[in-house]
């Protein structure tokens, strides 16, 4: 896949300290994912400007619509505890079904991009189990024209 020009490719061993901490937290969160439909486990770690980290994982449902993305789980946890100023989001994915879907980082889906951007813009660090680099960019570059009421 071609990486858009606004995305920085950073070797995992060269991630800055906060990004490395979030990457490891997202990797840990992915272990709790309930992925009985897709088999693609995703973990998210969301950092607030106050330095607090909220983790989330995807939780799939047989009915599809109640399925929760990892990013939304982390965001909702933060908001429910009174935090709304985010600085960074790290994502980590691994393919439990070994279909090769974790050879490159994944990005937040459109719904997650919209929800997160309504709260605050932030750096997004995208990683995957079988990838030696992170893709890094601002959330607003992934959704340049968000819906606004």
Tell me which residue has tokens 């607003």.
140
**What are 67's two structure tokens?**
């399925």
Q: If 0-12 CB within 10 Å is exposed, 13-18 middle and 19+ buried, where does residue 17 land?
A: exposed
First to last CA, the chain: 34
Q: Is 50 part of the annotated catalytic residue set?
A: no
> Among 18, 60, 71, 123, which one carries the catalytic annotation?
71
Distance CA 125, CA 87 (A): 11
Q: Which residues are catalytic?
A: 71
């Amino acid at each position: 896949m071609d990486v858009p020009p606004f995305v920085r490719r950073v070797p995992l061993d060269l991630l800055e300290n906060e990004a490395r901490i979030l990457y490891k937290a997202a990797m840990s969160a992915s272990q709790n994912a309930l992925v009985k439909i897709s088999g693609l486990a995703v973990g998210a770690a969301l950092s607030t400007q106050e330095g607090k980290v909220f983790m989330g994982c995807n939780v799939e449902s047989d009915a599809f619509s109640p399925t929760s993305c990892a990013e939304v789980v982390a965001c909702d946890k933060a908001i429910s505890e009174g935090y709304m100023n985010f600085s960074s989001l790290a994502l980590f994915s691994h393919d439990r079904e070994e279909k090769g879907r974790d050879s490159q980082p994944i990005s937040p889906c459109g719904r997650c991009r919209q929800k997160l951007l309504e709260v605050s813009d932030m750096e997004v660090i995208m990683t995957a189990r079988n990838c030696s680099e992170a893709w890094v960019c601002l959330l607003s570059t992934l959704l340049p024209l968000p819906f606004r009421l």
